Amino acid sequence: MVLVTLKKYHGLGNDYLIYDPNQNRELLQERQIQLLCRRNTGVGADGILSGPVLENEKIKVRIFNPDGSEAERSGNGIRIFSKYLKDAGYVKEKCYELWTKAGPVQVEFLDEDASRMKVDMGYAAFGADSIHAVGFEGDMINESVFFCDNFYNITCVSMGNPNCVVMMEEISKNKALHLGPYVENSKYFPNRINMQLCHVVDRENIQIEIYERGAGYTYASGTGACAAASAAHKLGLVGNRVQVHMQGGDLLVEFAEDDRVFMTGPVVYIGSITLAENFFA
């Protein structure tokens, strides 16, 4: 009998399952990821974090969306996985480096139980080539683009993963649910893209609604928060310290003098799950 054990955490309602290959013998396939992430018939999650993979003194994590596709990076996923590494004893230092498909990030734990941390997310990139957009050249800043039923002003941002930030005076979950599928699957983005509807409240606060590729409507997103704040910052609408308000809660995004992006936020441990023997049957 092969038992599969998972850990579950959430960051502002954005929940992930941790699959540790060092503790399990089962090799997760696309269909198994889909089964696990289903809310009603599986465990339920916005994605799966597989790791740690320990190679050449590097700590690596693989990030999977609920549809089984692999993501380059996840801001909430980075924080969640970092807390798991602390909880499981893999990491004992206050600061460490985690490798994602998009490259390394630096993580600083801000308290003893690793429930809050600050992550160096690197630099936002605005070039069409960085998000693999077609039909555009150079930076995609405040572009007027037709989606579904109207023209929208968008700024595209790579935070290691591709994001389309749509600036709006009013945003809502219903608007995100309506527009999200059109943006995610637009002909301009052959690799698909994450979408954030963004309303600038003032120089220090923005509100966003999120629709993620391979996941759909999401309560919170770390990379999405960084992307939206970076877009607003690039457009001169906010300063160097921005509170990003989402359905699941708030993240602090800060910009260094060289525009390097830092994200600070919480993580909560939910519990441990042991799958039924015939779950994957």
Say which residue the tokens 């790791």 belong to. 51
Whether the CB-CB separation of 271 and 117 falls below 8 Å is answered with no
Say which residue the tokens 């599969």 belong to. 4
Cα–Cα distance, 89 to 179 (Å, whole number): 42
Say which residue the tokens 């990076």 belong to. 73
Cα–Cα distance, 200 to 228 (Å, whole number): 10
> By CB neighbour count within 10 A (0-12 exposed, 13-18 middle, 19+ buried), where does 221 fall?
buried
- Whether residue 75 is annotated as binding a ligand: the answer is yes
- Whether residue 76 is annotated as binding a ligand: the answer is yes
| Phi, then psi, of 110 in degrees rounded to 5 | -100, -5
- Whether residue 194 is annotated as binding a ligand: the answer is yes
Cα–Cα distance, 213 to 64 (Å, whole number): 11
Nearest to 84 by CA among 212, 225, 272, 253: 272
Whether the CB-CB separation of 78 and 98 falls below 8 Å is answered with yes
- Whether residue 223 is annotated as binding a ligand: the answer is yes
- Whether residue 65 is annotated as binding a ligand: the answer is yes
Say which residue the tokens 């929208």 belong to. 152
DSSP β-bridge partners for residue 200? 206
Whether the CB-CB separation of 152 and 175 falls below 8 Å is answered with no
| Phi, then psi, of 177 in degrees rounded to 5 | -65, -35
- Whether residue 40 is annotated as binding a ligand: the answer is no
With H, G, I as helix, E, B as strand and everything else as coil, classify residue 35: helix
- Whether residue 222 is annotated as binding a ligand: the answer is yes
Helix 222-234 to helix 75-87 angle (10° resolution) is 140
Q: Which positions make up the binding site for substrate?
A: 14, 65, 75-76, 161, 194, 212-213, 222-223
Q: Which positions make up the binding site?
A: 14, 65, 75-76, 161, 194, 212-213, 222-223
